[in-house]
Amino acid sequence: MPVTAERSRANNDANLAAGLAVAAVAVWAVLIAVDADGPIWIVQGVLALAAAVTGWRAGHGSLPRGRALAALVVGGLLFVMFVVFTIMEA
């Protein structure tokens, strides 16, 4: 089956979303390990939101599948955790 430009773009989007989700989890783990406080947590929130949005856009108008869906779920959960944490600390 030949790889079309649309399929290649979808794979690139899914890979980008998965990479952003992994980066968000890594930043989250490091910030917890060093017991970080303050505005540095914004980096984790931005990465999580970017993973969720990129995962959603990788579906191209429908529910994403595979890596993109995993990135959407992980990014969305981490972003919700970030928002709840921010509200509770305010």
In tens, the pLDDT along 27-81 reads 999 999 998 888 889 999 999 999 999 999 887 777 778 888 999 999 999 999 9
**C-beta atoms surrounding 22 within 10 Å:** 14
Radius of gyration of the chain from its Cα atoms, rounded to whole angstroms: 15
pLDDT at 3: 63
Confidence of residue 26 (pLDDT cuts 50, 70, 90): very high
Tokens for 53? Answer: 């949005």
pLDDT at 42: 92
Q: Looking at the predicted structure, is the pLDDT value of residue 1 above 70?
A: no
| Cβ pair 82, 44 in contact under 8 A | yes
Confidence of residue 12 (pLDDT cuts 50, 70, 90): confident
Place of tokens 């989007």: 13
